[in-house]
Structure 1
Amino acid sequence: MLCVDLVLVLVAQLLTLTAFSNSPPSLAMLSDISLLIAFQILAGIPIAMWLGIPKIQLKAYETRALGKTAIFGVLLVVVNVALGRISHQNIPLGNSLVFGLIFVVLSASSKMVMLQALLALHRRAQPRCRVLIYGAGTTGMQLASALKTHEWIEVVAFVDDNPAMQSMTVAGLPVLRPVKIKSIIEEKEINRVLLAMPSLSPPKLAQIVRKMQKLGVEVQVLPSFAQLVGEEALVDKLTPVVPANFLGRAQLDRQFGTGGRTYRGKTILVSGAGGSIGSELCRQLLLCRPARLVLFEMSEAALYTVDMELRTLTEDSKTEITPVLGSTTDPRMARKVLGEYRPDAVFHAAAYKHVPLVEANPLAGLANNVLGTRTIAEAAREAGVDRFILISSDKAVRPTNVMGASKRLAELVVQDLAMRSDSTSFSMVRFGNVIGSSGSVVPLFHDQISKGGPVTLTHEDVTRYFMTIREAVQLVLLAGSFERGRGEGGDVFVLDMGKPVKIRDLALQMIEASGYTLRDKNNPDGDIEIVSIGLRPGEKMHEELLIGEGLLTTPHPKILRAKEAWLSEIEVAGALRALRQAVAAGDEGAAREVVSRWVEGYVPPDAARGS
């Protein structure tokens, strides 16, 4: 770099002489000034080193480096004038100034030429990544300028939604229309799209990202300056969901106790302890200070998680945590666990509850929800358990799907055992959708909003009853703590949950709670769209809580008791026998026929289509 600049001193002197003599300098003229040029070159070495010009990298040669080159040129002019006076050569000041100007131009130009030559070599040596910048604003222009000197990245063009920017040339690159982005990517062989719009809302960014990824290109998002300096998180996080905000009524959990005295010092077994309801049951039961808490769970991962969590919560208490890995559908396992630990109360929360999954796998759903309930309830009666509480669902009321039908059959099984048991008090708790539990709409909507939408509804007019997981668990604990004898007839306890909530209103609330706006025909520039995808197989427009008409009171004003019709012992035995045969034979049609015969309101899909 130093040698190039020193050679340019000589070249600048020759060009200056040529300019002022209107012809190339003669040998006599060169001989007269050769010594002066030699001294000027020698003087230029320490000046260049002092300014640090030889240490400037080609790719970093910008405004500041150009200023140093100008200073170098001015100092060379001073040296030229000084040497002319010392040598008594009559060098006009104009000649020295022209020499300095020519040198600065040559020096700066040489750096640019050398940089382009070097980049050309790099480009030939390795493949280039062709980049399209989405956003031609200030951030996009700065990004394009920064990438111009990159060794293996080549910025091809901009795209921008602003019509005023389209068809313009920005930073030497064309600004194209996003509607043609597919053809742009194909024609210009784009490998990567850089989103340079940090002020755009996260949902809209997410929508653009998904659109670009579908076109088969890599997408990267440029963070805003606030994110780079740490004022904002680089990964956008939505406002945490507060379940009580979406109930459409006052929250009731503060009005509940926990029935703590009923469970204090006792052995409690929770089936399905690793699930959403089961794990919260265990947490609330710990506040009642039982002597032992038996965690009965089929999933190893879920059992490990809840066991580790509860052990940290019981470090300062005397409650013993006993994890048991097994299925409630295994009679030997159920009898062994209940016979060994002799629980005072059993909370049966183990169930398959996701409507579409159970609809697609009816045999597994019926086996787990119906036969599993019969197995553990019968084992509880044989072991002399004092209280058995089945956790049911509002989908059991005149069900239109296999999941709801399986829960209703489970209720009928428990009701049958309640009528034939002298020692164990059997009861059921029926509630609506639990906000925040796995598979509920709230985490689904939250995930869809975080990805930029759309938020999907099965139908615009679908309504559901909602309760918080805390309300649901406290309802279960309270129902299980009512004086013995009240549940012996197979009572169904329900929570007074007010009016059902329209799912679309819930979706809109969540969008607005996350700081975004609804995008529809009235607001086409909004952030998140709500889309109806149609009712799923077996799904109802509106859920119910009661099969019968009347409700009876309980010791708590917000918990009601329903006396509903049940099957006879012979009918339950026949239904279970037929269901076991259908499950053993793998006959889904026969299993659905059993359900349709004994569960009010359920119609098999084939029969429904035929009608």
Structure 2
Amino acid sequence: VGAGDAGALLLRELNQYHTGKRQVIGFIDDDKTKIGKRMVGIKVLGSREEIIELANKYEIDEIIIAMPSVKGKNIKDIIKICKKTSCKLTILPGVYEIIEGSVSVSQLRPVDVEDLLGRDPVELDNVAVTKYLSGKTVLITGAGGSIGGEIVRQVAKMYPRKLLLVGKGENSIYEIMQDMNLEYPQLKKVPIIADVRDEERINAIMDYFKPQVVFHAAAHKHVPLMEYQPAEAVRNNILGTKVIAETAAKHKVETFVMISTDKAVNPTSVMGCTKRVAEMLVQSMNKGSSTRFVAVRFGNVLGSRGSVIPLFKKQIAKGGPVTVTDVDMKRYFMTIPEASQLVLQAGAMAKGGEVFVLDMGKPVRIYDLAKDLINLSGFVPGKDIEIKITGLRPGEKLFEELLSAEDGTEKTTHSKIFTAKIKDVDKAELQRQIVDILQITEGDAVVRKLQEIVPTYTPNRDAFKK
């Protein structure tokens, strides 16, 4: 599917190296002027409307989608048509995933949930991003996590002088170091096992390495898990941010970017509320500091550790059931590279004090996502694999929001990044409240104090108390 340059290159390689494995029967293209003509000796048989009919007529085994520069929604629509056939479905990744524009059979991969989301590739302002990262020492907390690890990979492309990979778990830092040594052997990188709450240790790290840019991705993120230990969520997400941010200001770091979440908006969970307090803290730190402090807020990230896709895949592998909390539950989704690239872009745009909101597109119904994933795995939902509704978990809500009702957004120079119009925070008062909450250890008392700090926090702990 796609009788363009990518399709032609792929056909030549298939003819040259894969003659015994794949025989190409024809092309599909929506350009009416191409239909009936030949490309590299192979005929353009018809448009997307004829895919099902042609697949049956020619007894096709496999459909390859070779349209790397086409918009996400178009790809999504074509996949839906192709899924109505019994053919194996493979796809050539998007242009931004293909290095140096080369096209190869080795890059073909099965169609995945990311393709069904229909999201367009991110267009980065590489000049602006490279400008604030090139030749700099960049520190990334939570560097072994899904988002932190991808930020490491994206920063590595921008010619930094040195990367400081900070994480609490030695295995995850070991793994990201292994990856980076393979991908960027010449780049200077330092693995650092440290807890972001350890002020003395963080201070010593910044004293020694003098980073100019900090990406703060370390956090507890599992919503139901944090309902069971509110004090721990406060210590990691609020105290951890406080230590890193204050130490960054003290060492005159140029840019500080904190990773936030849509769950910080009108929070119903301890995790979301602690991230909102961390946002407020970062926003307040901007006053009276030479460091540009910003937060970047986005929704769920496909394939990140502990997210819904890996869970569904495990459940499908075991034969089901696939568990969904509510038929109507919706979430915003984006891919890990997309979120990380936009975080870098937001850092380039930072004047200081902003909470940036990423354009997450339309929210996706989790029930539909489960059905799509079962289909992609070659099973029939409800017949081969059951979908089981389990009810809301502690701290969860049916719909996430990227803004509260009183917040508006302002456009920025990037089409996928907005600035949330958030009221200024009283820095001294916030600092006093943070000192108070850090003294509290009992869970319900922590929750009451969080409500005092964030009046829009409405705890959803009914499921927790059952």
Query: TM-score band, normalised by the shorter chain?
Result: 0.7 to 0.9
5 Å matches for 1:56-95? none
- Give the aligned partner of residue 544 of structure 1: 401
What is the aligned partner in structure 1 of residue 417 from structure 2?
559
- The alpha-carbon distance between structure 1 residues 241 and 344, as it changes in their structure 2 partners (threshold 3 A), is farther
Equivalence for 2:428: 570
Q: 1:500 to 1:344 in 2, by over 3 A?
A: same
Of 224, 229, 235, the match for 1:361: 229
SS in 2 for 1:253: coil
Matched, 1:508 2:356: no
1:281 aligns with 2:138: no
Matching residue's letter, 1:595:
L
1:418 and 2:418 correspond: no
Query: What is residue 388 of structure 1 aligned with on the other side?
Result: 256
Residue among 379, 385, 390 paired with 1:528:
385
| 1:434 matches 2:301 | yes
| Residues 394 and 463, structure 2, Cα contact 8 Å, conserved in 1 | no
Q: Give yes or no for contact 2:321–2:385 (8 Å, CA) kept in 1.
A: yes
Give me the whole-angstrom Cα distance separating, in 2, the residues matched to 1:413 and 1:242.
38
| Counterparts of 1:320 and 1:475, CA distance in 2 | 24
CA offsets per residue over residues 378-412 of structure 1, 9 Å max, x none?
Answer: 00000000000000000000110101011001001
The structural deviation recorded for 1:309 is 1.5
Contact 2:451/2:458 (CA < 8 Å) preserved in 1?
yes
2:175 counterpart of 1:305: yes
Aligned match of 1:253 in 97, 106, 122? 122
8 A Cα contact 1:243 1:468, kept in partner: no
In 2: Cα distance, 1:608 partner to 1:510 partner:
28
CA deviation after TM superposition for structure 1 residue 603, in Å: 3.2
Contact kept? 1:256, 1:474, Cα under 8 Å: no
Matched to 2:358, the amino acid is L
Give a deviation string over 1:246-269, Cα, whole Å, max 9, x none.
42x432325664812321111000
Does the CA-based 8 Å contact 1:399-1:600 persist in structure 2? no
Letter of the 2:422 counterpart: E
Please say if residues 436 and 442 of structure 1, whose CA atoms lie closer than 8 Å, have aligned partners that are also in contact.
yes
Deviation per residue, 1:173-195 (Å, 9 max, x gap):
xxxxxxxxxxxxxxxxxxxxxxx
Task: Name 2:162's counterpart in structure 1.
Answer: 292
CA distances 1:580-601 after superposition (whole Å, capped 9, x unpaired): 111xxx2222211211111132
Tell me the distance in 1 between the aligned counterparts of 2:360 and 2:197: 32
Q: Name the residue aligned to 2:114.
A: 244
Superposition pairs of residues 420-499 of structure 1, within 5 angstroms: 420-421=288-289, 423-482=290-349, 486-488=350-352, 490-499=353-362
Aligned alpha-carbon RMSD (Å): 1.9
- In structure 2, how many angstroms separate the alpha carbons of the residues matched to 1:442 and 1:534? 18
Q: 2:205 is aligned with what amino acid?
A: V
Report the equivalent of 1:197: none
CA distance in 1 between partners of 2:113 and 2:202 (Å): 35
Residues 271 and 295, structure 1, Cα contact 8 Å, conserved in 2: yes
1:607: Cα distance to partner? 9.4
| Cα drift, residue 306 of structure 1 | 1.0
Conserved? CA contact 2:393–2:464, under 8 Å: no
Structure 2 distance, partners of 1:424, 1:369, is 20
Which residue among 198, 202, 212 is the counterpart of 1:344? Answer: 212
How far apart, in 2, do the equivalents of 1:380 and 1:500 lie?
Answer: 35
SS of 1:356 mapped into structure 2: helix
Is 1:354–1:403's contact at 8 Å kept on the other side of the alignment?
yes
Q: 1:523-582 CA distances to partner (integer Å, 9 max, x unpaired)?
A: xxx211111000001100000001234211212122111120242022211211111111
SS at match of 1:518: coil
In the alignment, residue 446 of structure 2 is paired with which amino acid? A
Is 1:322 the counterpart of 2:190 in the alignment? yes
Q: Distance in 2 between matches of 1:363 and 1:336?
A: 26
Name the structure with the higher helix share. 1
Q: Does the CA-based 8 Å contact 2:164-2:189 persist in structure 1?
A: yes
Letter in 1 for 2:447: R
TM-score, with normalisation over the residues of structure 2? 0.73
| CA 1:408–1:246: 2 relative to 1, 3 Å | farther
In structure 2, C-alpha distance between the alignment counterparts of 1:329 and 1:338, rounded to whole Å: 14
Residue of structure 1 equivalent to 2:455: 600
**2:429 and 2:364 mapped to 1: Cα distance?**
37
Distance in 2 (CA, whole Å) between partners of 1:251 and 1:607 is 39
Unaligned 5+ runs, structure 2: 1-108
Partner of 1:194: none
- State the shift of 1:304 in Å: 1.1
Amino acid at match of 2:351: G
Counterpart residue identity of residue 166, structure 2? F
Separation (CA, whole Å) in 1 of partners of 2:339 and 2:281: 22
Q: Within 2, Cα distance between the matches of 1:397 and 1:538?
A: 13
Measured in 1, the distance between the counterparts of 2:131 and 2:425 equals 34
Change (3 A) 1:608 1:530: closer
3-state SS of the aligned residue for 2:139? strand
Q: Which amino acid aligns with 1:514?
A: S
User: Is the counterpart of residue 591 in structure 1 residue 459 in structure 2?
Assistant: no
Normalised to the residue count of structure 1, the TM-score between the two structures is 0.56
**Larger-gyration structure (1/2):** 1
Equivalent position SS for 1:288: coil
Partner of 2:268: 400
- How far apart are residue 359 of structure 1 and its match? 1.2
2:201 maps to amino acid: M
Question: Cα distance, 1:295 vs. partner?
Answer: 0.5
Given that residues 365 and 406 in structure 1 are in contact (C-alpha distance below 8 angstroms), is that contact kept between their aligned partners in structure 2? yes
Letter in 2 for 1:599: V
**Which one-letter code corresponds to 1:602 in the other structure?**
Y
1:372 aligns with 2:230: no
For residue 376 of structure 1, report the CA deviation from its aligned partner: 0.5
Taking CA–CA contacts closer than 8 Å with sequence separation of 6 or more, which of the two structures ends up with the larger relative contact order?
2
Higher mean C-alpha deviation, range 249-258 or range 342-351:
249-258
1: CA distance between counterparts of 2:461 and 2:372? 38
How far is 1:606 from its partner? Answer: 6.9
2-structure distance, mates of 1:373, 1:279: 18
Whole-angstrom distance in 2 between the partners of 1:606 and 1:469: 30
Runs of 4+ in 1 over 3 A off after TM superposition: 254-258, 603-610
